[in-house]
Structure 1
Amino acid sequence: MALLYRTNEAGEMELLFIQRARREGDPWSGDMAFPGGRMEPGDSTPRAAAERETLEETGVDLQRHGRFLFRLSDLITRQHSRWRPMIVTPYVYEWQGPQTESPNHEVARMVWISIDYLTAKENQGKLSWRTPLGTLKMPCCRYQDYCIWGLSYSMLQEFLALGIEPGRENPR
């Protein structure tokens, strides 16, 4: 996964989110997320996979216009209906390129959301998520008609806790 931030014309920091395209059988279909995906045989490292997936999904070229800063903590989850665990490694980049957007078929929408919006208490809430064991109230951040929750919310909270400021060097 790639967490990209930039400073907009007003001097505000923003993070890039994608809305996943709706697909039959995909439990996270339509969710807000960070760009990224699975490693493929040609990927030399998980970071290379994050960069490739980001380019494929969004047209954002991190190798040319992203300044890699650090990685966040690994998160363990499982693939859709399988019980086998999967490790998700988020990498943080400062975006220093042009404002280009060319989402592929996996992405319904790309949106830059200000850090101020993401940290505002009035935008925090709970999402009811049904499981075989009952309904859970998951923490989330609401943006327009969307909800940032689950792994994306966990990554977002770790990133926000670092207090990144534009131009500041690697905090880790």
Structure 2
Amino acid sequence: MKQAQDISTALNSHPVRIIEPGKRAHAAVALILEEQPDGPNILFIQRSTDECDYWSGQIGFPGGRAEPGDKGPQETAERETREEIGLDLGTATYLGRLNDLVPGGLQIVISCFVYAVDRQPILNLDRTEIARAFWLSVRELNNPARLTRVEFIGRRRQRRFPALRLGDGTEQPLWGITYRLLRNLDKILRGAGKQVRSTCKEQKP
């Protein structure tokens, strides 16, 4: 898995920004790559529609909030991935960690751990939480025609955020934390001079 080795080298040569949650909640997600000759695929999930869920219907990575029994955020990411999509990351190759993020306006820290699999595994989705899981190629994610913006009405004002169109453009776009994590990975790989790049070129307002 030459691509995975290159990505692991880049991730582990980059100092990781770790944010202590303090009184904030802590959640963790898994960014899972599948190596392909023309560049890796990335596994995404779409959350089920639930009016009580802040992330309802959004595109993201498997993961969720820490529980008292978790030994750390990586264990949270692995447990949540197993519960949500039936994938045991103990069989995957751990590549490294991205910078922690704090979404604007939310009292939560998000940690992201990167893994590689040598083939697309059979998934068993928890349909109460996950509507679907799908793979997208890095090449497709890097397509400039996919760049767009989404409008989000917050508590105080309406804001516009960079995003990626998926499918024919009528599907839920990829934006927010997931978009920021992909850009984080892209920045690290570019800085390391690797040919395998993630996604999300900088978009001007």
TM surpasses 0.5: yes
Pair 1:135 & 2:161 matched: no
Q: How much has 1:165 moved relative to structure 2?
A: 6.0
* Misfit runs of 4+, over 2 Å: 96-99, 160-166
% identical aligned pairs: 32
Structure 1 spans left out of the alignment, 5+ residues: 167-172
Question: 2:52, 2:69 → 1: CA distance?
Answer: 27
State the Cα deviation string for residues 38-82 of structure 1 (Å, max 9, x = none).
Answer: 111221111001000001101111012x1111110011137xxxx
1:4 aligned residue (22, 29, 32): 32
Report the equivalent of 2:131.
Answer: 108
State how far apart, in whole Å, the 1-side matches of 2:39 and 2:106 are.
Answer: 40
Other structure's SS at 2:67 match: coil
Which amino acid is 1:131 matched to?
Answer: G
TM alignment of 1:18-167, pairs within 5 A: 18-64=45-91, 66-77=92-103, 85-96=107-118, 99-104=121-126, 105-144=128-167, 145-163=171-189
CA distance in 2, matches of 1:45, 1:23: 28
Structure with more of its chain in strand, by fraction: 1
State the partner residue of 1:169.
none
TM norm structure 2: 0.72
**Deviation digits for residues 24-46 of structure 1 (CA, Å, limit 9, x no counterpart):** 22232000011101111221111
CA distance in 2, matches of 1:148, 1:132: 21
Structure 2 alignment gaps of length 5 or more: 1-28, 197-205
Q: Is the 8 A contact 2:49 2:57 kept in 1?
A: yes
Q: 2 CA distance for matches of 1:139 and 1:52?
A: 30
